[in-house]
Amino acid sequence: MLQITPQMKIFLGVEPVDFRKGIDRLVSLTNLQLKAEPFSGHVFVFCNKRRTSVKVLVYDGNGFWLCLKRFSKGKLEFWPKSALDKQKINATELMIILQQGNPKEFRLGKDWKKLH
């Protein structure tokens, strides 16, 4: 089972991806586009050109998970437009994006609170 936790690093692939591509092509994009190690256990999220679908790629130590969400209505409200925009997000922001929301419109607390 795939579970996204606050401890995971989540990266957004800014450039649109041809969703006919499978795991191998997305693995190469994590190296080329995101400059990240695909076998790290980090979460990599990609969007198609029309912003009507999202793919999530994760390595769990035993193999890759590739999850696809195609929206039944509408398209993504938020997605970075250039590599200068935010490519790293947290788990809460990812959940908002997957519900077709814009995380910039929400006032979110910090993921971690230092205990005294």
The per-residue pLDDT string of the chain (116 residues; one tens digit each, 9 = 90 and over) reads 578 888 889 999 988 999 998 999 999 999 888 889 999 999 999 999 999 999 999 999 999 999 999 999 999 988 888 766 668 888 888 988 999 988 888 777 766 666 77
- Nearest 10 degrees: Cα torsion 22, 99, 76, 45: -30
**Nearest of 96, 76, 94, 107 to residue 12 by alpha carbon:** 94
d(CA 29, CA 67): 16
**Of 71, 29, 33, 25, nearest to 51 (Cα)?**
71
pTM of the model: 0.86
pLDDT above 70 covers a percentage of the chain that reads 91
